[in-house]
Amino acid sequence: MRVPPKTTLFLTLGMAPVLALAQASELELRLERCSVLGDASARLACYDGLAKTAPTVQKAGDNAIVAPAADANGTSGKVAEAAADAPARTQPAAPPPEPKVPPKVAALTTIPPEDTVSRMVQEWELDRSSKRGVFNFRPHHDTYLLLANYSTSSNDAPFREFTPAGIKSKHVELTYQISFKMKLIEQLLSTPVDLWFGYTQNSFWQAYNRAASSPFRETNYQPELMLTTPLALDLGVLDVRYLTLALNHQSNGQTSTLSRSWNRVYAEVGAEKGKFGVSFRLWKRLDNARSDNDNIDITDFLGHGDLRATYRFDGHELSLMARRNFSTNHGALQAGWAFPVAANLKGYVQAFTGYGQSLIDYNYSQKSIGAGFLVDF
């Protein structure tokens, strides 16, 4: 049946208020998601993202309001073309439905609304309003670049065993770490549990060692799968936010006597109160067989867990990582200070003492201090 052009015009004009209302509701929802971000730089980046998409939204609005020119068949191609050209969504249009769990479990895993924005809730998307769908990059561990990282001593022994000439390391090197996570499944099997993939890579680059052709002394790769559920436990001094069960692999990608790697499962609990946050991990190594194992004693030096704490104030962040094997009295401490520079770029100072700054140094004790930049995304 052929629709006259005038009818098409009237129908389009009649639908304009409905389409405009739908676009306004979508915009309000996205603005609300930006407003709940606790970190100022992340909130600003979210608003900037909306501003960049504004022309597309306005264009769609124009296409909806202005009557398209009818072709010979009386059809309008502009609306269809606009719909076809619309960018793919990476975030859901609405929060997911409530998980299907018993009331007692729901009470334990539902974090109630609060006056202040929780950083942990936003980073791990622990309540319905913070959910952002799947396959979006999110921060995991710190992402930083230390332009100069000075160590009191260098561990050259493993390289002498691998090559006749070995390597003469300089005490100052460039160090960086890249870390992110991505949600693979949201509300697994209609429960509050989310499945995440995480990846962390840190490298120790002898960038200033021109005599040795500036080699990468060590690079560690750490992929992991994590099942995370929100928790709503008020302990008075701390609010427990989440529980994570994870499978973790860490390796330096080397062969022969330079190879270092291990697999482990761990449980992590995160809690916070105001500007203070803390997480505790307890792990169990999986590959304990002595055959084909280059670091059978790694837990003697890296222990069976670690504690991480942060305190944020006025754009600054103080951080601390501590681990210790109380049987061997080996462990490590790492302290950091991040301070505002511009937007989500921060200056960063890091100090380390103990064993295991990298996998090649898992049984080597050293002290180091470095300075550079941290990206808070």
Q: In sequence order, which ranges of 179-331 are alpha helices (DSSP H)?
A: 298-302
Output the six-digit token pair for 51.
């501003």
30 — pLDDT class (breaks 50, 70, 90): low
Identify the residue with better confidence: 13 or 234. 234
Cβ pair 258, 160 in contact under 8 A = no
Confidence at residue 266, expressed as pLDDT on a 0 to 100 scale: 98
Collect all residues with Cβ–Cβ distance below 8 Å to 6 and sequence separation of at least 6: none
Confidence at residue 167, expressed as pLDDT on a 0 to 100 scale: 77
Task: Report the C-alpha gap between 94 and 74 in whole angstroms.
Answer: 36
Domain ranges of the chain: 5-88, 107-375
- Residue 106 pLDDT > 70: yes
Confidence at residue 68, expressed as pLDDT on a 0 to 100 scale: 43
- Residue 91 pLDDT > 70: no
What's the chain's length in residues? Answer: 377
pLDDT digits (tens, 9 = 90+) for 332-348: 999 999 999 998 999 99
Task: Report the C-alpha gap between 272 and 256 in whole angstroms.
Answer: 44
- Residue 176 pLDDT > 90: yes
Maximum average pLDDT range among 22-36, 73-87, 198-212 = 198-212
Give the global pTM.
0.77
76 to each of 8, 71, 82, how far by Cα in Å?
Answer: 8, 7, 11
Give 92's Cβ-side CA count (13 Å radius): 13
Cβ pair 64, 17 in contact under 8 A = no
Task: Report the C-alpha gap between 221 and 201 in whole angstroms.
Answer: 5
Maximum average pLDDT range among 22-26, 65-69, 220-224 = 220-224
Confidence at residue 129, expressed as pLDDT on a 0 to 100 scale: 87
27 — pLDDT class (breaks 50, 70, 90): low
Query: Rounded mean pLDDT of 163-178?
Result: 87
Confidence at residue 83, expressed as pLDDT on a 0 to 100 scale: 44
Give me the architecture of the 107-375 domain, per CATH: Beta Barrel (2.40)
Cβ pair 225, 244 in contact under 8 A = no
Query: Rounded mean pLDDT of 17-44?
Result: 55
At residue 297, the 3 state secondary structure works out as coil
- Residue 1 pLDDT > 60: no
11 — pLDDT class (breaks 50, 70, 90): very low
Confidence at residue 306, expressed as pLDDT on a 0 to 100 scale: 98
**Nearest one of 240, 236, 173, 229 to 206, comparing CA atoms:** 173
Instruction: Mark 229-249 as b/e (b = at least 16 C-beta within 10 Å).
Output: bbbbeeeeeebbbbbbebebe
**Nearest one of 179, 160, 133, 166 to 374, comparing CA atoms:** 179
Confidence at residue 73, expressed as pLDDT on a 0 to 100 scale: 52
β-bridge mates for residue 375, sequence order = 143, 345
pLDDT digits (tens, 9 = 90+) for 177-196: 999 999 999 999 999 999 99
